[in-house]
Every structure is written in structure tokens, then in C-alpha cells.
Amino acid sequence: MSYQERYAASMMNTFGPPNAVLTRGSGARVWDDAGREYLDLLGGIAVNALGHAHPAIVEAVTTQLQTLGHVSNFFATAPQVELAERLVALLGTPGKVFLSNSGAEANEAALKLTRRTGRTQVVAATGSFHGRTMGALSLTSKEAYRLPFEPLPGDVTFVPYGDAAALAEAVTQRTAAVVLEPIQGEAGVVVPPDGYLAAARDLTIRAGALLWLDEVQTGIGRTGRWFAHHAVPELLDAAPDLVTLAKGLGGGIPIGATIATGAAADLLEPGNHGSTYGGNPVACAAALAVLDTIAAEGLLDQVARTGKRLADAVAEAPEVAAVRGAGLMIGADLHADLGPAVVEAGREAGFILNSTGPRTLRFVPPLVLSDADVDAFAQAWPGILAAAGAPR
């Protein structure tokens, strides 16, 4: 039996048939079990910040496993403490960190923390994606994800993303928190209007509510900054109360982080929350290696430059109606409903692509993507679109 057949026989059908069986990777490229090479423009859904098999992560994980692998949270470890300190320093505002294993877990911790305010209502946005656990799912607006599991926990109000007036109407003195993605990823890389996040900060301050920014996909260099919200001057002066991270933080090793600032940093007390694996030294060592490498190799500047090069290459095709995003988080709308066909044609041409909707593509490649990688894709891009059946 092939691995595809064995997968179908042994794995729950939560993802449908896999597109391929991948066996190894290096940098921004991966290979399947037939030996075919692909340029990875999905990056494990914005996870593989340093690409595949990066020496810094391999060394950090190997060294840590040879020293101390897991101790539980009855004890502290140096990588755990050092990572928390680094994240707070990068955020630029005094705070404290809870470490977990994924973005959904980071958001679950943040949701529980909001309940410690004494309020229950959380205002979220249409188009949002915050995870698939029950609490995180209650904040995720897509009906196809929500309906099979309702009733969901929480007192959640959804408002149109980017609509400051609707947000102002929804936020009241009973609002515990407003949760927003600085750029929506699952929705197709949706960028809010200028002033929207600043308005959210002002509204929450006046209502005595928490501003919670889900940077699970946008954080750790993805947009060319450590945090996407650092592009908003008002949020440098008045930081969000909660920031959640995961994906690129571990560079492929599972880890999540919930950062709370100001008074919110002390809302969770002993017994309120926990995670057996969260903050384990191996995952923390990997995360520290990611942060060190991004800084040492100047990847924030590279992401800004390479991201523009990739966005320009995508936009040159007449089949593309619009391109948006920041850094290496790029969304592209097609004129026709060819998203899945483009993904398939891309794979046949040796490129791993992603479609978030019938006519929307998302590019979230490794941050180490090179100019040569972008040029290779740019050369193949017209043929991919033609093979997908795009009218010219």
C-alpha cells in the first residue's frame, strides 16, 4: 500500500486526501516520496519561518534534547525564562507571558484571561480565524467551522472587520475584550483600513476593555516587523493588552505564547490555567534560535524587500485582480474562481501554493525566501495560470 492509502486507512478524515507525501526539506524547498522538488510558498501555513532543516533550529533542538527535554511546569528552565524575557522585550512594553503549544491554545489562554476582568462579552470580527478548539472557535466567524459544534461557549459579538463605526457600536461597558487580527490570514490576507486598529485601541481604553491582537500568523517577522501592529504608531504608545503568537515562533516546533501587558499581566493566578507541555525547554530553545536567526541574518529587512518582489511578480499577471498584504504575507484575488485549480497547477509545476477561497490565493512562504526563489516563481507564474484555465 502507498502512504496515501495508508493515510486514508489510519488517519481521521479531518483534512481530506493529502496533496502529496513529503519526505524532506531544505530552505524554502521540499521533496515528495517520488523525488519531486517544490518551492514552498505556503511555509507550513506561515509556520516554517526559517524554512526547512535550518541549521540553527536543528542545533538548538538537538543540544537541548541532549541536556533536558521535559520537566513539567513544577520547575523552571533557562530557555523558558529567556524566551519570555525576549518576547516582552521585542513587544516593547512591560508584560508577562504564558507559553503553550499552538495558536489555538494561546488564544484559549487569552480568552480565559478576559473572563478574569469580571466581564464576559468579547467583540470579534467577521472573517476572523482564531483556532478550532471550542473557545477559540467561538471567536471564529466562519459558519462552516462553527455550525457543527454549536452551541459554542462565550458571549461573542461579531462586527464587520475594518468597520470602526460598527466596532464603536458593539463595544460597551460590559465588553471584556476586543479581539482582532492585525491582518486577517484565513480570510485571504485582509488588511484593515488605516486608523482601524488605533480606533480599536481608543475604544477599548474608553470602555475599560482589553485590546487583544491575534498575531499568531502575522507575528515574528512575517510582515517585516516583529509584530504587525508595530506598523501602527498609536499602538507603540498604547500597546495592546493581549498579544497571541504561535506559527513562526517555533519555526516548525509547536509552541504558542500569550503576552499580557499592564494590569492584564496579573489577571491569571495559580490554578487558573496550565499546560503540561507548554514552555518545555525544547520548544523554547527552538523559538530562541528563530529569534536569534531573524535578528542575526537581517531577515526583517529581507522579508520587506522579498515580499515586495513577490507581490509585484504576482500582480503582473493580467489574471490577477488585486494584491495586498505586508512583507511575506500576501493575498491575491483572481478575476475568476480558479483558486483550487491554480493550486493544483502550481503543484504540477513544482510550487506549493494555497487558496483560501474560490478566487483568492495566500502566499506565506518561509522568511528565508530568496530573490532567486521569487524569480523562479515569477517565470513560472504565467504558465501556472494558463494551466489552471485562466482566460487571457
Query: Cis link prior to 151 (omega < 30° from 0)?
Result: yes
Buried b (16+ CB within 10 A) or exposed e, 103-119: bbbbbbbbbbbbbebeb
Q: Spot the catalytic one: 214, 227, 363, 377.
A: 214
As a whole number of angstroms, the distance between CA 37 and CA 245 comes to 31
The answer to whether the beta carbons of residues 128 and 184 sit under 8 Å apart is yes
Asked if residue 103 belongs to a known ligand binding site, the reply is yes
Asked if residue 217 belongs to a known ligand binding site, the reply is yes
Asked if residue 215 belongs to a known ligand binding site, the reply is yes
The closest alpha carbon to 180, from 117, 223, 102, 244, belongs to 244
How many helices (H) and strands (E) are present in the chain, helices listed first?
Answer: 14, 15
Judge residue 349's burial from the number of C-beta atoms within 10 Å of its C-beta, 0-12 exposed, 13-18 middle, 19 or more buried: middle
* Residue 75 falls in the annotated catalytic set: no
* Residue 96 falls in the annotated catalytic set: no
Asked if residue 275 belongs to a known ligand binding site, the reply is yes
Asked if residue 216 belongs to a known ligand binding site, the reply is yes
Q: Spot the catalytic one: 40, 98, 241, 247.
A: 247
The closest alpha carbon to 222, from 195, 257, 249, 240, belongs to 249
As a whole number of angstroms, the distance between CA 120 and CA 197 comes to 22
The answer to whether the beta carbons of residues 342 and 30 sit under 8 Å apart is no
* Residue 227 falls in the annotated catalytic set: no
Task: State in Å, rounded, how far the first CA of the chain is from the last one.
Answer: 42
Asked if residue 88 belongs to a known ligand binding site, the reply is no
The answer to whether the beta carbons of residues 200 and 211 sit under 8 Å apart is yes
Asked if residue 332 belongs to a known ligand binding site, the reply is no
CA dist 294 → 33, 202, 268 (Å): 31, 32, 31
Asked if residue 276 belongs to a known ligand binding site, the reply is yes
Compute the Cα dihedral for 310, 129, 88, 257 and give only its sign.
negative
Asked if residue 173 belongs to a known ligand binding site, the reply is no
Q: Spot the catalytic one: 98, 129, 227, 363.
A: 129
The answer to whether the beta carbons of residues 29 and 19 sit under 8 Å apart is no
Indicate the annotated binding residues for pyridoxal 5'-phosphate: 103-104, 129, 214-217, 276
Known binding residues for N(2)-acetyl-L-ornithine: 132, 275
Active-site positions? 129, 214, 247
Q: Extract the annotated binding site.
A: 103-104, 129, 132, 214-217, 275-276
